[in-house]
Structure formats: structure tokens, C-alpha cells
Amino acid sequence: VRPGDFVKILNGEVVPADTLLLVSSSEAGICYVETANLDGESNLKEKRTVTEISHLSTGQLEALRGTVTAEKPTPNL
């Protein structure tokens, strides 16, 4: 996994990266992640989808082109 990659993550999969949640199977656009591999914490953290694109289908997301501007990495996941 490299910065800028789109990654489909299924329930229970381990991903050694902090990610930006684009869509979720949850109607509320929420998922809970364990960040122990990144920061050693085993408590679940809530992540929410990006509201502006959370309604897009898989095909629309695959066709999406653009740039994401995000804050620089910090210890606060």
C-alpha cells in the first residue's frame, strides 16, 4: 500500500496504514478501526466517511480523479 492508493478493506482485514475512509457499508458512514499496528493502542477508533463523496458507487469511485489535501502526519490518529 502506497500513499494515494485506493484500497478496499473488508471486515477483519489488517491494513498497516492510516487511511481516509471514502465509503462504508454502514448507512451512517462509520467504521471502527484498531490502530495498534500504528500507535500501539488497542481501543477502537471511530472513522467517518468523506461526506462529499460517500454517496458514490464503486464504479464512480474508480473513475474519480483529483488531489487530496490532508494534514501532515501526527501521532494523533
The answer as to whether 66 is a domain residue is: yes
Report the predicted TM-score, pTM, of the whole model to 2 decimal places: 0.67
Across the range 11-35, mean pLDDT stands at 85
Q: Give 2-49 as a 3 state SS string.
A: CCCCCCCCCCCCCCCCCCCCCCCCCCCCEEEEECHHHHCCCCEEEEEC
For residue 16, pLDDT beyond 80: no
pLDDT given at position 77: 62
The answer as to whether 76 is a domain residue is: no
The answer as to whether 19 is a domain residue is: yes
The answer as to whether 77 is a domain residue is: no
Domain count, the chain: 1
Report pLDDT digits (tens) over 39-59: 888 889 899 998 888 888 878
The neighbour count for residue 31, using CB atoms within 10 Å, is 19
The answer as to whether 58 is a domain residue is: yes
Domain range for 39 is 1-71
